[in-house]
Amino acid sequence: MTDLVMPEALTVAPSLSDRAREALGGRSLIFVGLMGAGKSAIGRLVAQQLALPFVDTDAEIERVSRMTISELFATYGETEFRALEARVMERLLHQSQRVISTGGGAFINEQTRGHIKAGGLSIWLRADLDLLWDRVRKRDTRPLLKTENPKQTLENLMSQRYPIYEEAELTVESADVRKETMAHNVLAAIAGLSARGR
Ligand SMILES: Nc1ncnc2c1ncn2[C@@H]1O[C@H](COP(=O)(O)OP(=O)(O)O)[C@@H](O)[C@H]1O
Ligand SMILES: O=C(O)C1=C[C@@H](OP(=O)(O)O)[C@@H](O)[C@H](O)C1
Ligand SMILES: [Mg+2]
């Protein structure tokens, strides 16, 4: 049998994932944004495509506390939850490169935001109220929305937090498209960083 000789011109162009990894330059990727934006779902997919470990801060908090987020809020209150969240964030940011999906309040903490900016690449999944509401109304796992008018609560959180999420290095619009399309848009935004010379 004759040997198969590959012509040099057939070298493979780097994939979108390769280019995004290159642009990350060893930094962790941190998803921020409001409840329902898709941080947990899209973060997991993007991690798979980047072949990086994935961690969701809420899942990590539930693991270390052996309580659900709802139980933590009910038993210790939001202040204690935020303190635990900040500690978990700091620990995760000191670990090797990974994809981190935060809970919606994590980036609002000034110190956490500082740690993220110093060592990671933050990406805001921005969504409009109706999309967020449509997603979060289906589950009762978010204690902040256990109010008389949860959609109004969500809207209030948008006004308070969007000016802060805006500080993220990248913003990707969270649209009513397939999760795979969202993951692709995220990778393209990251890969675009090196094209912009950053
Ligand atoms: N692009 C998408 N298309 C359809 N459903 C989505 C999409 N992104 C997220 N979801 C769903 O919306 C809900 C909220 O997403 P999640 O990832 O938990 O948001 P977050 O972590 O930002 O609160 C989940 O049920 C998730 O599967
Ligand atoms: O916005 C917030 O303050 C919160 C968002 C939640 O995570 P998701 O954004 O993943 O829903 C969870 O951390 C907790 O219920 C508080
Ligand atoms: Mg989440």
pLDDT tens column, 137-185: 999 899 999 999 999 999 999 999 999 999 999 999 999 999 999 999 9
* Containing structural domain, residue 142: 20-195
Residue 14 within a domain: no
Mutation probe of ligand 1 site: the residue of 85, 128, 130, 135 with most atoms within 8 A of C-beta = 135
Beta sheet of 120-126, edge-to-edge order: 54-56, 99-101, 28-32, 120-126, 170-173
Which ligand 2 atom minimizes the distance to the CA of 157? 1
Domain count across the chain:
1
pTM: 0.94
User: If you measure from the C-alpha of residue 136 to the centroid of ligand 3, how many angstroms do you get, rounded to a whole number?
Assistant: 10
Residue 15 within a domain: no
- Binding-site residue numbers for ATP are 36-41, 142
Residue 8 within a domain: no
- Say what the ipTM of the complex is: 0.99
Residue 38 within a domain: yes
Answer whether 84's CB lies under 8 Å from 57's CB. Answer: no
Positions of the chain with pLDDT lower than 50, given as ranges: none
Which CATH number fits the domain that encloses residue 113?
Answer: 3.40.50.300
Residue 67 within a domain: yes
Residue 11 within a domain: no
Residue 63 within a domain: yes
Residue 1 within a domain: no
